[in-house]
Amino acid sequence: MDIDVITLFPELFRSPLAVSIVGRAQGKGLVAVRAHDLRQWADDARGTVDDTPFGGGGGMVLMPEPLKRGVEAVKGDHGDGKVILLAPDGERLTQQIANELSLEKHLILICGHYRGVDERFRARYVDREVSIGDYVLTGGELPALVLVDALVRLIPGVLGNFESAMEDSFQEGMLDCPWYTRPQVFEGEAVPQVLVSGNHAQIRKWRRQQALERTRTRRPDMV
């Protein structure tokens, strides 16, 4: 998978993309994530990519021309790509959306900023708009990193045990069950007996019951 990120702050991506699962995935050649500075596609030497909104109001708006040139440039290098705008008014990111986007060969992530992005660019060049929650951040860089992490771990070969990704919370429309590891007794509390029984059918049944109960308690909206 190829992921190109168009941003005002490419330096924000260097360290997070170089470590942990995403860093290892890039080292294996399973994914390539590149952060591009939007200002390189500006019209002037100052790198101006935003202006005041028509009709007045506070804040600045990202101009459509630099964004268009940026999308065309990265598409030209790597063929077609699905353009995703990270914005607070996009559809809320879910595991289903992550599953769908992880199947794409090339994604172009646009990091929104300031007051927003010119609506004409959004209407003509953006394929999908995604939000990571009902709150506003200073820009789309952190949401882009969240989306990249959610996608990359779903690519076969990235995780040592791909089954673990398929059993995560939300994959079956509910939260995950509780998990335990050594020691078998911690501060006087033992691991549930069923987990050390060796009865795999009962373990699966227990885990599903626990997952359902946790979902009912913590996220009743999902039931």
Domains and CATH numbers, the chain: 2-152 (3.40.1280.10), 167-222 (1.10.1270.20)
Distance CA 150, CA 147 (A): 5
**pTM confidence score:** 0.85
Cis peptide upstream of residue 183 (ω within 30 degrees of 0): yes
User: Tens of pLDDT along the chain (223 residues)?
Assistant: 999 999 999 999 999 999 999 999 999 999 999 999 999 999 999 999 999 999 998 899 999 999 999 999 999 866 689 999 999 999 999 999 999 999 999 999 999 988 899 999 999 999 999 999 999 999 999 999 999 999 999 999 998 755 554 555 556 788 999 999 999 999 999 999 999 999 999 999 999 999 999 999 999 998 8
Amino acid present at 118? D
